[in-house]
Amino acid sequence: MDAEHVGDDIVEILFTEEQIQARIAEMAAQIEADYEGKDLLIVGVLRGAIMVIADLARSLGRHVEIDWMAVSSYGSGTKSSGVVRILKDLDTDIAGRHVLIVDEIIDTGLTLSWLLANLTSRGPASVEIATLLRKPEAVQMPIDVKYVGWDIPNEFVVGYGLDYRERYRNLRDIGTLAPHVYS
């Protein structure tokens, strides 16, 4: 879906589809170099990371396994509640594996901090984090993120997997959602 299909719901386009694809290719090149000779398992955080994972995996010039977790701390709101629930756990045993958690955005860091601790307790060889977007001003729980696409202001953004009440995920660009939509 193009931005023109959502009318005045988007205040500003932050990143175009072309910019997103170029940045993901750069991140993929770094990931490939860092995991040379290592068996890599990518763990996607559903649902928002679907677009990022699909394009990241296609940008890698190597075999990679993908598994998914669904965790929630938002419900249908716009702010994290800080209470994390596992909605879907991994199907793969990660003991001894090199794991790369991939998410579309890091907001408060509360959910990802919890997920990092949870996965680390399962005995992987390593666990790192990659995210397309990070909101440094919103961070309440600092976490070490190895791969970051962009740091963005603390605004409500949608598109490329990011949603508001399950809408806008299929928007090709990433943009700031107009307050009249969620107020």
Would you please indicate which residues are annotated as catalytic (active-site) residues? 107
Q: Print burial letters for 63-74: b (CB count within 10 Å at least 16), e (below 16).
A: ebebbbbebebe
Q: Whole-angstrom Cα distance, residue 87 to residue 142?
A: 24
Q: Nearest CA to 181 among 25, 10, 66?
A: 10
CB–CB of 80/74 below 8 Å? yes
CB–CB of 175/159 below 8 Å? yes
Q: Nearest CA to 102 among 156, 38, 154, 31?
A: 31
